[in-house]
Amino acid sequence: MEALIEKLKEQIIKQLNLEDITPADINEEDSLFGEGLGLDSIDALELIVLLEKEYGIRIENPKDGQKIFFSIKTMAEFIQEHQKK
């Protein structure tokens, strides 16, 4: 799980071009949207593509997104449960 969280942090920084942010700056339990990392709806689309491209996981119900993308930790837990690759 630890390794997956670190990998996710790096992938998100790269995919979303989060300049000046290092994996150490991201707390795995902080919210990704709003006050936490400050991501927005376009980033949400980027994260959906990242999940499918890197982990082969497709989010069937968009309503689940809010729960899955709450934090790095919730994302990692979701990946661990559904990983196909």
Partner 1 sequence: MMLAPTYIDGSGAVVPQPTVNQDKFLEEILEYNERFLQVVSPVYKDYIDVKLLRRMSKIVKMSIVSAQVAMQQAGVDQVDAIMTGTGMGCQIDTEKFLNAMIENGETLLTPTSFIQSTHNTMGGQIALMLGNKNHNLTYVHRTFSFESALLDAMMMIAEKEAQKVLVGGIDEITDESWLIKTQIDYYKKHACKNSAVYTDLQPGALSGEGSAFFVLSADRSEKTYAQLKGVSTLYKPRSNKELEDFIKRFLMTNELGLSDIDLVIMGNNGDPVFDRIYEDLATGLFKTIPTGRFKHLCGEYDTASSFALWIASGILRHQYVPSTISQHPFDRKTPKKILIYNHFRNINHSLILVTTPDAS
Q: Which chain residues interact with partner 1 by CB under 8 A?
A: 15-20, 38, 42, 45-46, 49, 52-53
Residue 59 tokens read as: 């989010």
83-32-2 Cα angle (round to 5): 45
- The minimum distance between CB 74 and partner 1, in angstroms, equals 21
Single-letter amino acid, residue 72: I
Among residues 1 and 49, whose Cβ is nearest to partner 1?
A: 49
Dist CA 37 CA 62 (whole Å): 21
> Which is nearer to partner 1, 3 or 17 (by Cβ)?
17
Least distance in angstroms from the C-beta of 2 to partner 1: 27
